[in-house]
Amino acid sequence: VLDAGGEPAWVESNKVKTGTTMLYLEFDNGVVLGADTRATSGEVVADKMCAKIHYISPNIYCCGAGTAADTEKTTDLLSSNLTIFSMNSGRNPRVVMAVNILQDMLFRYRGQIGASLILVGWDNKGPGLYYVDDNATRLSGRMFSTGCGSSYAYGVIDSGSREDMTVEEAYELGRRGITHATHRDAYSGGVVNL
C-alpha cells in the first residue's frame, strides 16, 4: 500500500478471532471428545452447526479449532493417509502414527495452516489423547480443552473428572463442560457434540 506521496505505508492487519470450545477426557472405559458447533468470523456467527468432530479412522477421531477450511482439509488428508495404510496392512492405524503424520503435515507449513487439533483414539496400547497446534507443538495427557471457551470448560471437567467414571458419567461431564463454556463465552455456542 502506498501513501499519498508514493511511499510505502504500513497497514496494521486486524486478526479475526475465531472461537470454539473443545475438550477430551480419558476414563477407565474409554475417552470422550466434545465440541460446540458455533463458527464465528470476528463478531459474526458464520455457522450455527459447524461440524468440529472429524472421523479419521474407525478407532480415531479428531476435533479442530481455527480456520474451518484448514481443519477440514487437514483432517481429510490425515484420514486419506490412514485409509491407505489400513488397506495395505489390513489393520487399524495406531494413534501415535496418526499424531506423527498430523504433526509432520503441520510442521511442514510452519504456521501457515490455521488449525489446532485434538486427536483421540484407542488402539492396542489403550487410549491415545493428543493436542497438536498449527506450529506442530504436540502434547499428550488425560484431559485437554482448547479454544476460547476452554478455561470455562476446564473448570468443570477438572473438578469433576475421576478415573472410575462410568460411560454415562463421562458423557455428562463432557456435556456440562461444553455447555458451561457456551453460556459464558460469546464465541462458543450452538449444540454440544460428543
Annotated catalytic residues are 20
Contact 85, 97 (CB under 8 A): yes
Q: Residues of 66-89 as b/e, b for ≥16 C-beta within 10 angstroms? A: bbbebbbebbeebbebbeebeeee
Residue 64 and residue 74 in contact, taking contact as beta carbons nearer than 8 Å? yes
* CB distance 40 to 19 below 8 Å: yes
CA distances from 99 to 36, 48, 81, 125 (A): 23, 29, 12, 14
What cell does 189 get?
Answer: 455456542
User: What CA–CA distance (Å, rounded) separates 166 from 124?
Assistant: 21
Alpha helices in 44-130 (DSSP H): 68-89, 95-109
